[in-house]
Amino acid sequence: MIRKAVQVNISDYPEALSELLKDTPVYDSSCSQEAQVIFIDKDGGYYVKKAPKETLKTESLMTEYMHSLGLSAEVLYYGSFNDSDLLLTRRISGEDCADLKYLSEPKRLCDTTAMLLRALHEIEGSDCPVQDRARIYADKVMKGFDGRYYEPDLFQGIWEFKSFDEARFIAEEGLPLLKTDVLLHGDYCLPNILLDDWNFSGYIDLGNGGMGDRHIDILWGIWTLKFNLGTDKYTDRFMDAYGKEKIEPEMLRMVAAMEMIGA
Ligand SMILES: Nc1ncnc2c1ncn2[C@@H]1O[C@H](COP(=O)(O)OP(=O)(O)OP(=O)(O)O)[C@@H](O)[C@H]1O
Ligand SMILES: [Mg+2]
């Protein structure tokens, strides 16, 4: 993660955070347009995620839950201020998997992320605060039934459909088959997986996590290797390392169709 020094306006933050931000070097660490993430270089380091009001509540709950399992960062503050939601977490050691250190060993990265995902999916999540991720997910897919979010090239070379109508047909076929039997990360991409010298140190960006269908995480685990390594040659290797006996290729194709049409 490349960090760019930034200035922050202390008055944009509640008192609980402004003390931390005062006279401290701050760096931008954002990965997307939807949220601003800043790194506070103090003590062992802190991250503040700022996003539109009400959008980080689930992420805060899921991060706390995953932290209780030893799988994520400690949440030090969550709250709304002005028009924003703010989430303060303690830094997880190491680097995220989009770091060159890991990208430069693609086979090891593929095997590591696949095996970590399988271990996550083996956790019994009966006390997870989001039990209905599959239903929330299905609602987002159905929002795209009119074609307004269709991204035909999302999984180019891996999963493709002749037309929107075909993608919608396959997605509709898959919706009633979605299971709610595993603990999902929900955004299983390299920048959201942190390793410390190849040892797992934590997951972040858990706002779409909860109990749902394993194929959703597997699909994004495959996509992120293709996206970040620029090749789809690790697709099979990822499934082998995860455990092919747990993967239904038809379900993966149906989930790909859902992702392509969904909001
Ligand atoms: N607690 C933390 N410990 C270590 N690194 C962190 C932590 N929180 C965030 N980061 C770093 O900041 C980056 C961006 O954070 P995060 O993934 O939460 O937001 P995002 O991907 O920009 O937002 P979005 O929710 O819109 O996808 C991560 O990829 C990671 O490098
Ligand atoms: Mg992220």
Burial state string for 49-59 with b = 16 or more CB within 10 A and e = fewer than 16: bbbeeebbebb
258: left (phi over 0), alpha (psi -120 to 50) or beta: alpha
Is 205 near ligand 1, meaning CB less than 6 Å away? yes
81: left (phi over 0), alpha (psi -120 to 50) or beta: beta
Confidence of residue 8 (pLDDT cuts 50, 70, 90): confident
CA dihedral over 194, 199, 202, 205, signed as positive or negative: positive
Q: Are 80 and 153 found together in one domain?
A: no
Q: Which residue has tokens 């709250």?
A: 79
Q: What angle do CA 124, 127, 133 make, to 5 degrees?
A: 85
Our count of domains for the chain comes to 2
Shortest-distance atom of ligand 1 to CA 1: 31
Residue ending a domain, choose from 36, 62, 90: 90
Tell me how far the alpha carbon of residue 168 lies from the centroid of ligand 1, in angstroms.
32
What pLDDT was estimated at residue 80?
Answer: 94
Q: Are 63 and 25 found together in one domain?
A: yes
Q: Are 250 and 139 found together in one domain?
A: yes
Q: Are 84 and 18 found together in one domain?
A: yes
**Distance separating alpha carbons of residues 42 and 21, to the nearest angstrom:** 9
Q: Are 57 and 107 found together in one domain?
A: no
* Region 24-46 average pLDDT: 92
Is 92 near ligand 1, meaning CB less than 6 Å away? yes
Residue ending a domain, choose from 36, 60, 90: 90
85, 96, 187, 217: the active-site residue: 187
What pLDDT was estimated at residue 2?
Answer: 61
Residue 242 has pLDDT above 60, yes or no: yes
User: Which ligand sits closest to the CA of 207?
Assistant: 1
Q: Where are the alpha helices (DSSP H) in 87-243?
A: 100-103, 106-121, 133-142, 164-174, 214-229, 235-242
Is 47 near ligand 1, meaning CB less than 6 Å away? yes
Q: Are 154 and 244 found together in one domain?
A: yes
What pLDDT was estimated at residue 31?
Answer: 86
Predicted confidence (pLDDT) per residue in 54-111, tens digit: 999 999 999 999 999 999 999 999 999 999 999 999 999 999 999 999 999 999 999 9
Q: Are 20 and 101 found together in one domain?
A: no
Is 130 near ligand 1, meaning CB less than 6 Å away? no
**Distance separating alpha carbons of residues 57 and 54, to the nearest angstrom:** 6
Residue 48's DSSP bridge partners are 38, 88
* Region 228-235 average pLDDT: 96
Predicted confidence (pLDDT) per residue in 207-225, tens digit: 999 999 999 999 999 999 9
User: Which ligand sits closest to the CA of 209?
Assistant: 1
Q: Are 108 and 178 found together in one domain?
A: yes
Predicted confidence (pLDDT) per residue in 142-199, tens digit: 999 999 999 999 999 999 999 999 999 999 999 999 999 999 999 999 999 999 999 9
- Closest residue (by CA) to atom 8 of ligand 1? 47
Residue ending a domain, choose from 39, 61, 90: 90
Q: Are 153 and 28 found together in one domain?
A: no
What pLDDT was estimated at residue 84?
Answer: 93
CATH of the domain at 50: 3.30.200.20
Owning domain of residue 108: 95-261
What pLDDT was estimated at residue 35?
Answer: 93
Q: Are 184 and 77 found together in one domain?
A: no
Q: What is the mean pLDDT of the chain?
A: 96
What pLDDT was estimated at residue 1?
Answer: 56
Q: Are 180 and 101 found together in one domain?
A: yes
Catalytic status, residue 187: yes
CATH of the domain at 249: 3.90.1200.10
Q: Are 108 and 85 found together in one domain?
A: no
Judge contact between 89 and 47, C-beta under 8 A. Answer: yes
Confidence of residue 4 (pLDDT cuts 50, 70, 90): confident
Nearest alpha carbon to residue 171 among 144, 191, 148: 144
